Structure 1
Amino acid sequence: MRKIILLSLILVVGIGYISAQLPAYKNKELSPEERANDLISRMTLDEKVAQMQCVWRGEPGKKALFPNGEFDAEAARKLLPNSIGSIARINEDMGPGAVGAHPTLPPGEAARQYNKVQKYFIEETRLGIPVLIHEEGLHGQQATEATSFPAPIGLASSWNEDLIHDIYSIVAKEIRYRGGSQVLAPVVDVVRDPRWGRTEETMGEDPFLISRLGVAQVKAYQGDGIYLDGDHVGATLKHFGVHGQSEGGSNTAPSNIDERTAREVFFKPFQACIKEARPMNIMVTYNELWGIPAHANKKLLKDILRDDFGFKGVVVSDYYGIGNLVDIDKVTPSKEEAGYLAFKAGVDIELPDYFGYQHLVALVKEGKITESEIDEKVKRILIEKFRLGLFDHPYVNADKAEQFVGCEANREVAYKAAAESMVLLKNEKDFLPLNNEEIKTIAFIGPNADRCILGGYSSSPKQCISPLQAIREKYGDKMNILYAEGCRITDVNSPFPEVIRLVPREDNDVRIAEALKVAKQADVVVLFVGSNEAVAREAYGPTAPGDMPTLELLNGQNELIEQIVALGKPTCAFVKSGQPLSIGKLTKELPAVMQCWFLGQEGGYAMVDALFGDINPSGKLPITFPRSAGHIPSYYAYKPSSRRGYNLGLDVTPLFPFGYGLSYTTFEYSNLKISSSTITKEDSVEVSVDVTNTGSRRGAEVVQLYIRDEYSSVTRPVKELKGFEKLWLEPGQTQTVTFVITPDLLAFYDGNMNWVVEPGDFSIMVGTSSDNVENLKLSVTN
């Protein structure tokens, strides 16, 4: 026993001695802040600046670091003598045989490559600082075999915070298991001009809805702890500023928005996520605001983001955003000056290559910036690396990556997401669902009938099925299934090529004629129309436009629809798109129309199951559908002086309002009441309503709460979403939904930009969409 005690004492003393020899930054028992402070004290100026830099396709770029597709430690030692803070997209295939715009490695191979990279930076650099790897994960990782979920505009149609959390918990794991530690998502931009090609990346037009879904995403990505485990990644809110209502709906164009509107609408989701979920990173928008590009805008990035909103994390540039100060914004001809402006404005890391931040050491030596300013930014970067566990648990398990990425359990969630993302826009005389027992011959017609459209920031999932493939698989032995393309929209089906062209119209005339022959043979025709990932996309450079001046169905689709309808066959339509389209003619001519967005890898199954009633659509629009591009802006939360009407009796109302969506069942609202009709400015009040499923099918309803300040010292919107709840009800079932209205839901910025609740009368509105509500009155006193 005495020997055991002696050995134990020796072991304890030995561990204590070894621990005492370790530098403090390697001590897991200390806080991330303490560890970062110690590490900074050991770093040279060059090493500090290197932590603010990233490598991708520039010089030195990944081609030099990964000759023949394999990481080369000697090349890294030569090209990065002071180490490096970040590497972009470790999943990319840098091998000589790689093809495509963004080729990526399989999961296991990517994990092994990552481990090799990280081992070098930890074991063969002076201080052993691990490298931060960022990846794209907008609706699934942009990498081979990753699970592909619906585009965010579709996911927002679910109005389901729990589903959003489940989805992005999977995305976080798929990224982390392959070696990524930071994700460039979520996009919480408010979009109010759907001509913008990036509309599909957003969660719609409403800051409250986006806030709730954005908070759910960040929490799913990061978890709750100070130190993240191996299932989570650091989130990056995109794109701080005003990105979704730029001039003409054009990506990177000036955002001519006043500060009040910016704070009340466009900044709100960022503010909510910072307060409730503490995102590790925020990415700056390309656009200028108040005459100053966001990457050089101190008021935006310091005064508002840090001082007002209390953001403590890392601010990263958008790709080449600092270079844009020279090449596009024209605020300086100098790369050094561009780096200086971005640094002083508040950008901590330059992505994806160092254009302006290669000059930071020189700027310190010139006395333009101080080393203490460098330390402040580097500390934030190092804190993130400590929180991510990169110092303590830097490596990943390649076998785990291979087993989890794109697995069957993840497919099931992707299917559920697709099911809840569809929005039933019209269903005259209960045309849908179809009875699969009664149909002998069915025709799937249209440019999107045999295409699995994933949308932007996508790669190649393990499986992806089109509607035509799905119906043949499920019903091929029960009915005769016919197909015709009808027309083709673009010459390529990809968002990446710089130049994209419409298919020649004469070619589509032939396709329309063929489609009519097919349709004449069918009992029922299902049209699959809309757009694709090439029509409206991110305009990623001056020579690669992506925005559209029209929302019309392009390239012969309207002619195809007209001629199919003229046949007199029972016909419905499924519309795939990344933004609202002008489908007034379609919805007028057809009895049933389903808005499907880009539904991800399981979208084909989901559409076929909705067609035949295995899925009851439950989506609600997160964005208003204008009647035409000429009706923009068309968002629902407009000011009282707007929407007075158009001349000659032309309709000013939207085609479909925000929050709208039908079901294969029906719902009845009753017993709407408020706990008190008069409260003080400090009180809260409860509003409740009973919702009953009055139909014959189980279904989901999204109950929506809107508020209007009847009279106020500054103009206020005619209504604003302030609450929602999604509930699933069996036939005949009733459930009571209760909303708590807190003072914050009644507040706004007054004339002096103070956040206040003014006494007066408020309308409290509860209903099934923004234009279908019941009203209560609430009086607020001093």
Structure 2
Amino acid sequence: MYAQVKRLISQMTLEEKIAQLNAVPIEDLLDDSGEQLSEEKLEELLSNGIGQITRVAGGLGDPSKVDTSPKHAAELANAIQKYLKEKTRLGIPAIVHEECLSGFMADGATVFPQAIGLASTWDAEAIEAMAGVIRQQMKAAGAHQGLSPVLDVARDPRWGRVEETFGEDPYLVASMAVSYVRGLQGQDLTKGIFATLKHFAGHSFSEGGRNCAPVHVGERELWDIFLFPFEAAVREANAKSVMNAYHDIDGVPCAASRELLTDILRGHFGFDGIVVSDYDAIDRLRKAHFTAGNKKEAAVQALEAGIDIELPKMDCYGQPLMDAVKEGMISEATINESVERVLTAKFELGLFDGVYVDVDSVPGLFETPEQREMSRDIARKSIVLLKNDNVLPLSKDIKSIAVIGPNADNARNMLGDYAFMAHRSYDKTSVHIVTVLEGIKNKVLDSCRITYAKGCDIIDPSTDGFVEAVNAARAADAAIVVVGDNSGIFGKGTSGENDDRTDITLPGVQMQLVKAIKDTGKPVIVVLINGRAFAAKELADNASALMEAWYPGEEGGNAVADVLFGDYNPAGRLPISLPCEVGQIPINYNLKPASYINYLSTETKPAFAFGYGMSYTTFGYSDLSITPAVAPSAGKVDISFKVTNAGQLAGDEVVQLYIRDEVSSIVRPVKELKGFKRVNLQPGETKEITFTLYADQLAFHDKDMRLVVEPGTFKIMVGSSSDDIRLEGSFEIDGQKREVMAERRFFADVVIQ
């Protein structure tokens, strides 16, 4: 392969080389109807070959006006590849990239829960299996690269993109990311989809919680918290693509940071894939960061930093880059480095051996009963029961229910911002989205009287619908109030990309609606359909039961009903702490010891802590054993204990392992997650869980920024959440401080007996 790549580069003109570093949006290749490829546009845009095609499926247009089916996307992909193979001088195929945050972002593809919901499952195996389905669907439509997963460690719920993340903890984020990458890429890259880690790096820690704003982070925190998931995904799962972040760190934009994109990513992590720009990130060096005076300078800065391909279109890497080479601003040798990486990726994907897809087989690979059932199962696993005053589960023979709220019967609001409907701002899709109202109707007996009242909108201040909602609640045996967010992008939602907020309470008058229903005296079950971590104390105080469902996807309504009526025992756990109020931010569980001084009016404790979630049964922990009691700095420790289902219902318990470095040369967090496992237990059943904790997992960057394991005492905490610790013990690391080399253990092993 290396020789083939070198031979191709030697045959290429400068223009053909630069074309490999560019992308063309599918919109630029369609005529006004969106139905056909224009030969003139193909000739104009693809005559020299092109590196990438942007979103063949996700960018087709309005499904009410054009054919947006995966089959049509496959036809377009085949037509583009045919042109490149037969009409360009060297016949080099293109990489087609698509979004796939909560499923393949195409009309007709299976829609899974949003990423924050995936993290709430605490089930890495389920996420890997889901990503395998996404791979199958993307490959069928002619795609080769997915712009997911998001590895940003989310610590500020004001930021609208919290919903796209796996939460606040680097270990949990890394675990989910590694599983997602493995599922998407598969064991054979020629049959897989390149995963794209984003946003590199620190994007979630932005100033004021504003998207793209500067990030103020110390070097040690950057390495130990925000870079950790990326390194794990590169080393453990061989992730093949990385996307830069928009912001700057200490004045250096990520898109122009050679330290980040080359020295750290390639030099330290050993990354050998392609780096792609976030959309328009290179030109933002000129028009947002002002480190470049024109597009030529922006192109030079980005390419020299290590960005191989500009997305989503030919802009700075088009004619401006050509001019920069001719004017001596950048060498052709630098161009060759990126071209070599792009061509290598195409060989690894097997594009030179066969790039066409079987169009006729496409429909049978989408929205099968098995895929819908997987979406439902993951949605059920993602639901977090936050409060239950013995009102749940509801009886299926209940006589009457009032279903209330703006998210009770809104299909689009069941989906996250990178689902087809929400991202493209469409109200219709060929995929059936089950709302909570529909799910409840599917669950109860025909004799049950269900009354629906919207009550209010998400953000509209009108309370005109309150009277109808209150009357419905008064006439019912119980009220299910479904409130939360609507996800969108660029100001079209209350959460999502560029939908940042200073207020993290329920938008609009929804809290007033909840209180009005509570005043009826009827049991009030509040279901949250949302993307960010809400300030949850007031909500909990006004609900008999409180359930966090995030954006649960196409089968979300059925999944919520499964939990409401006891057909599924909830076991989701919070991947992000829910504050009492916005002034507590940051409220993540793994703060430093001095971060626990109370405010005058409020404690520092969250309303609901990281890792928290209730069940319809109870679990007991016992028989903690830690061996050996003293281990070397390159060794490992086995932590064993028993978990018993002490209740009457089968259920899952998410066992969590935390550690604390009791005395260290650098201030360390009071608690750090170092292992977890979702375990199913029948009533009365006991299982023994053994975590093998590796000394490498105790490493941190010392005063000299060396990654080290220090000798000393480490406290072990095992429990059901970060603030529900059931068993405690300790062990010692002896010997001398050990510097951890590049190859290290990132995760604990788990054995269940």
Q: Which residue of 2 aligns with 1:302?
A: 262
Partners of 2:481 and 2:395 lie apart in 1 by: 17
Partners of 1:531 and 1:394 lie apart in 2 by: 41
Q: Which residue of 2 aligns with 1:487?
A: 456
Secondary structure, counterpart of 1:283 in structure 2: strand
Measured at CA, do residues 537 and 177 of structure 1 come closer, stay the same or move farther in structure 2, by a change above 3 Å?
A: farther
Given that 1:538 and 1:546 are in contact with CA atoms closer than 8 Å, whether structure 2 keeps it comes out as yes
Q: Does 1:569 align with 2:532?
A: no
Given that 1:443 and 1:525 are in contact with CA atoms closer than 8 Å, whether structure 2 keeps it comes out as yes
Amino acid at match of 2:463: D
Partners of 2:291 and 2:45 lie apart in 1 by: 31
TM superposition shift of 1:584: 1.1
Q: Does 1:692 align with 2:658?
A: no
1:36-55 to 2 correspondences below 5 Å: 36-55=5-24
Q: Which residue of 1 aligns with 2:744?
A: none
Q: Which residue of 2 aligns with 1:464?
A: 433
Secondary structure, counterpart of 1:357 in structure 2: coil
Q: Which residue of 2 aligns with 1:708?
A: 660
Given that 1:634 and 1:654 are in contact with CA atoms closer than 8 Å, whether structure 2 keeps it comes out as yes
Q: Which residue of 2 aligns with 1:413?
A: 374
Partners of 1:78 and 1:667 lie apart in 2 by: 66
In structure 1, stretches of 5+ residues that fail to align are 1-31, 490-501
TM superposition shift of 1:536: 9.4
Q: 2:541 aligns with which of 564, 588, 607?
A: 588
Q: Which residue of 2 aligns with 1:598?
A: 551
1:375-386 to 2 correspondences below 5 Å: 375-386=336-347
TM superposition shift of 1:189: 0.9
Given that 1:104 and 1:144 are in contact with CA atoms closer than 8 Å, whether structure 2 keeps it comes out as no
Q: Which residue of 2 aligns with 1:245?
A: 205
TM superposition shift of 1:68: 4.9
TM superposition shift of 1:67: 7.1
Partners of 1:449 and 1:475 lie apart in 2 by: 16
Measured at CA, do residues 537 and 258 of structure 1 come closer, stay the same or move farther in structure 2, by a change above 3 Å?
A: farther
Partners of 2:43 and 2:490 lie apart in 1 by: 42
Q: Does 1:163 align with 2:126?
A: yes
Q: Which residue of 1 aligns with 2:560?
A: 607
TM superposition shift of 1:290: 2.0
Q: Which residue of 1 aligns with 2:715?
A: 763
Q: 2:29 aligns with which of 62, 69, 79?
A: 62
Amino acid at match of 1:589: N
Provide runs of 4+ in structure 1 moved above 4 Å.
Answer: 92-95, 97-100, 534-542
Deviations 1:287-320 (CA, angstroms, capped at 9, x unpaired): 1112111001111111111111111110100000
Partners of 1:99 and 1:347 lie apart in 2 by: 37
Q: 1:280 aligns with which of 240, 248, 252?
A: 240
Secondary structure, counterpart of 2:323 in structure 1: helix
TM-score, reference length from structure 2? 0.93
Given that 1:241 and 1:289 are in contact with CA atoms closer than 8 Å, whether structure 2 keeps it comes out as no
Q: Does 1:292 align with 2:252?
A: yes
Q: Does 1:34 align with 2:24?
A: no
Q: Which residue of 1 aligns with 2:404?
A: 445
Measured at CA, do residues 213 and 444 of structure 1 come closer, stay the same or move farther in structure 2, by a change above 3 Å?
A: same
Amino acid at match of 2:520: L
Amino acid at match of 1:516: V
Measured at CA, do residues 239 and 545 of structure 1 come closer, stay the same or move farther in structure 2, by a change above 3 Å?
A: closer
Amino acid at match of 1:486: G
Q: Which residue of 2 aligns with 1:623?
A: 576
Amino acid at match of 1:326: R
Q: 1:105 aligns with which of 68, 71, 87?
A: 68
Deviations 1:615-669 (CA, angstroms, capped at 9, x unpaired): 1111000001111111100001111111211124x22100000000111111000
In structure 2, stretches of 5+ residues that fail to align are 421-428, 736-753
Given that 2:592 and 2:667 are in contact with CA atoms closer than 8 Å, whether structure 1 keeps it comes out as yes
Partners of 2:278 and 2:67 lie apart in 1 by: 21
Measured at CA, do residues 104 and 180 of structure 1 come closer, stay the same or move farther in structure 2, by a change above 3 Å?
A: farther
Q: Which residue of 2 aligns with 1:79?
A: 45
Given that 1:624 and 1:654 are in contact with CA atoms closer than 8 Å, whether structure 2 keeps it comes out as yes
TM superposition shift of 1:233: 0.8
Q: Which residue of 1 aligns with 2:471?
A: 517
Secondary structure, counterpart of 1:374 in structure 2: helix
Q: Which residue of 2 aligns with 1:397?
A: 358
Partners of 1:564 and 1:75 lie apart in 2 by: 58
Q: 1:126 aligns with which of 89, 111, 114?
A: 89
Deviations 1:241-287 (CA, angstroms, capped at 9, x unpaired): 11111000000000000111010000111000000111111000011
TM superposition shift of 1:462: 1.7
Deviations 1:127-179 (CA, angstroms, capped at 9, x unpaired): 11001110010011111111000000001000101100111111111111011
Partners of 1:128 and 1:57 lie apart in 2 by: 19
Secondary structure, counterpart of 2:190 in structure 1: coil
Aligned length: 723
Partners of 2:315 and 2:353 lie apart in 1 by: 31
CA RMSD in angstroms comes to 2.0
TM superposition shift of 1:94: 5.1
Higher alpha-carbon deviation: 609-618 or 72-81: 72-81
Secondary structure, counterpart of 2:231 in structure 1: helix
Given that 2:161 and 2:495 are in contact with CA atoms closer than 8 Å, whether structure 1 keeps it comes out as no
Q: Which residue of 2 aligns with 1:355?
A: 315
1:113-192 to 2 correspondences below 5 Å: 113-192=76-155
Amino acid at match of 1:153: I
Given that 1:536 and 1:578 are in contact with CA atoms closer than 8 Å, whether structure 2 keeps it comes out as no
Amino acid at match of 1:628: E
Given that 2:660 and 2:671 are in contact with CA atoms closer than 8 Å, whether structure 1 keeps it comes out as yes
Q: Which residue of 2 aligns with 1:215?
A: 178
TM superposition shift of 1:57: 7.5
Secondary structure, counterpart of 2:90 in structure 1: coil
Partners of 1:57 and 1:410 lie apart in 2 by: 27
TM superposition shift of 1:56: 1.7
TM superposition shift of 1:727: 0.6
Measured at CA, do residues 523 and 68 of structure 1 come closer, stay the same or move farther in structure 2, by a change above 3 Å?
A: closer
Partners of 1:664 and 1:149 lie apart in 2 by: 25
Given that 1:527 and 1:573 are in contact with CA atoms closer than 8 Å, whether structure 2 keeps it comes out as yes
Bigger-Rg structure (1/2) = 1
Partners of 1:610 and 1:175 lie apart in 2 by: 31
Partners of 2:492 and 2:163 lie apart in 1 by: 9
TM superposition shift of 1:432: 0.6
Partners of 1:567 and 1:585 lie apart in 2 by: 17
Deviations 1:448-485 (CA, angstroms, capped at 9, x unpaired): 11123211011235211111112223336131111100
Given that 1:486 and 1:514 are in contact with CA atoms closer than 8 Å, whether structure 2 keeps it comes out as yes
Amino acid at match of 1:553: L
Q: Which residue of 1 aligns with 2:739?
A: none
Partners of 2:490 and 2:393 lie apart in 1 by: 30
Partners of 1:193 and 1:248 lie apart in 2 by: 8
Amino acid at match of 1:157: S
Given that 2:477 and 2:523 are in contact with CA atoms closer than 8 Å, whether structure 1 keeps it comes out as yes
Q: 2:483 aligns with which of 519, 529, 541?
A: 529
Secondary structure, counterpart of 1:235 in structure 2: strand
Partners of 1:538 and 1:279 lie apart in 2 by: 32
TM superposition shift of 1:556: 1.4
Secondary structure, counterpart of 2:44 in structure 1: helix
Given that 2:29 and 2:38 are in contact with CA atoms closer than 8 Å, whether structure 1 keeps it comes out as no
1:769-780 to 2 correspondences below 5 Å: 769-773=721-725, 774-780=727-733
Partners of 1:298 and 1:781 lie apart in 2 by: 38
Q: 2:225 aligns with which of 265, 278, 290?
A: 265
Q: 1:254 aligns with which of 209, 214, 218?
A: 214
Q: Does 1:717 align with 2:669?
A: yes
Identity over the aligned pairs, expressed in percent? 42
Given that 2:58 and 2:105 are in contact with CA atoms closer than 8 Å, whether structure 1 keeps it comes out as no
Secondary structure, counterpart of 2:350 in structure 1: coil
Partners of 1:616 and 1:477 lie apart in 2 by: 24
TM-score, reference length from structure 1? 0.90
Q: Does 1:670 align with 2:660?
A: no
TM superposition shift of 1:77: 2.0
Secondary structure, counterpart of 2:595 in structure 1: coil
